[in-house]
Amino acid sequence: MTPFVLGAVLGAALLHASWNTLLKRRGEPLLATVLVVAGSACVAILLLPFLPAPARASWPFIAASGVVQAAYFLLLIETYRDGQVSHAYPLMRGCAPLLVAIVNGPLTGDLLSPGQWVAMLLICGGVLGLWLAAPATGARRTTVFALLTAGVIAACTLIDGQGVRLSGAPAAYTLWIFLLTGAWVCAWTARGRVGALVAFARANPLVAPLGGLASVGSYGIALWAMTRAPVAAVAALRETSILFATAIAAFILREPIGRARLAAVTLIACGAVAMRLA
């Protein structure tokens, strides 16, 4: 991996952590999420006319991924409604590759490698640590929604892993998913909230463009990097977003990061990287 690709992947990880933090920083996770997905959909609308269409065989996967991605954003709203980024984000990002590895075995017949078992122990230890370090109320609900969100991320990974291979056009495949997700999330959440959404957009004019660009950019950079470096290395490096999100939560959102939570987050990050490389 060249230094340029390395820097690009780290930038993608930072972008992903940043737009997630944006949802919490604005104080209205639902309205902020709608603006971010709307911004992503607008980026897709602008770029899709210049890209070749995905192959017909991939469209069922695009539709399925769009539905699952919509569920992801709806769960994200609930996760960040009361929860802290430094608690929820590591659970969502760290547990997703663990779930993919577990589910992939029965689907393909592959057994977990020794490295994957070590990664599983690290992630499980970090999850347990976050659970024990969490307050008795509030954060437990966040943990449940974060783990549900991780399950949805894992489902997207499995769907897109098949669909993007059939598409013959990875960039267009991804942008169509952003477009469908934006349409479904906006249709579902904006009902009865149009006035509040317009007022929020006026008060926060940069959420939609910056959040949309960061969301599409983080994924697009990762896809590009996978054409220039080993996929496993790129995927592992992208999990540094867990550490970026924790740092942003500590220094910008001013969330309390005690030693126990920091140790748990570090275990999850190490486990996620190990799972990608195993």
Mutual orientation of helices 29-47 and 3-25 as an angle, nearest 10°? 140
Q: Where are the beta strands (DSSP E) in the chain?
A: none
Residues 8, 14: Cα–Cα separation, whole Å: 10
Overall average pLDDT of the 180-198 stretch: 86
Which amino acid, one-letter code, is at 266? T
The CA-based angle 10-14-19, given to 5 degrees, is 150
98-129 residue pLDDT tens: 787 777 667 666 666 788 788 878 888 887 77
Q: What is the largest CA-CA distance in the chain?
A: 54
Task: Print burial letters for 83-118: b (CB count within 10 Å at least 16), e (below 16).
Answer: bbbbbbbbbbbbbbbbbbbeebeeeeeeebeeebeb
Residues 143, 134: Cα–Cα separation, whole Å: 9
pLDDT at position 71: 93
Please tell me which residue, 276 or 249, carries the higher pLDDT value. Answer: 249
Look up tokens 């347990």; give the residue: 128
Domain count, the chain: 1
Task: Print burial letters for 18-40: b (CB count within 10 Å at least 16), e (below 16).
Answer: bbbbbbbbbebbbbbbbbbbbbb
- Give the pair of three-digit tokens for residue 14: 């930072």
- Res. 276 pLDDT band, cuts 50 70 90: confident
3-state secondary structure (DSSP) of residue 258: coil
Residues 173, 62: Cα–Cα separation, whole Å: 7
- Give the pair of three-digit tokens for residue 107: 């689907």
Residues 46, 50: Cα–Cα separation, whole Å: 8
Q: What pTM does this model have?
A: 0.85
Q: Which domain holds residue 34?
A: 3-277
Quote the mean pLDDT of the chain. 85
Reference 181, options 264, 72, 83, 21; nearest CA is 72
- φ, ψ of residue 113 in degrees (nearest 5): -80, 165
Reference 90, options 8, 153, 179, 178; nearest CA is 153
14-41 residue pLDDT tens: 999 999 888 887 778 889 999 999 999 9
CB within 8 Å of 262: residues ≥ 6 apart: 246
212-256 residue pLDDT tens: 999 999 988 887 887 788 766 777 788 888 889 888 988 888 888
pLDDT at position 93: 85
